[in-house]
Amino acid sequence: MEIKVLGMGCANCNQLEMDVFNVLAEMNVDAEVEKVEDVQKIMSYKVMGMPALVINGKVKVAGRVPKSAEIKRFITEEM
């Protein structure tokens, strides 16, 4: 599973990255997590707000930090 957190390093972006790692540990799921801060790469996902969460190439949420339960659901959907 490939997970990307899109964001420029703001507090919400950092929070989402931390939440993703916490959920993965809680679920005992192995995934490759990448924080994408490059503007060109972020623009390639056509998201208008940050932070954004991309799992297996699909934008799951943008412009807000999802709750842990939502992140779990997104991960489960992609397993």
Residue 70's contacts (CB-CB under 8 Å, 6 or more residues apart) are 61
13 is catalytic: yes
- Residue from 1, 10, 11, 18 carrying the catalytic annotation: 10
Give the model confidence (pLDDT) of 3-16 as tens digits: 999 998 899 999 99
What is the rounded CA–CA span in Å between residue 24 and residue 16? 12
Query: 66 is in which domain, residue-wise?
Result: 2-78
Rounded average pLDDT over 46-71? 96
CA–CA dist 51, 65 (Å, integer)? 7
Tokens in use for 9? 């390093």
* 10 classed as catalytic: yes
Q: Contact, 44 vs 3, CB < 8 A?
A: no
Q: Is the pTM of this model over 0.85?
A: yes
What does the pLDDT look like over 40-55, one tens digit per residue?
A: 999 999 998 999 999 9
Give the domain CATH number at 67.
Answer: 3.40.30.10
Structurally, how many domains does the chain consist of? 1
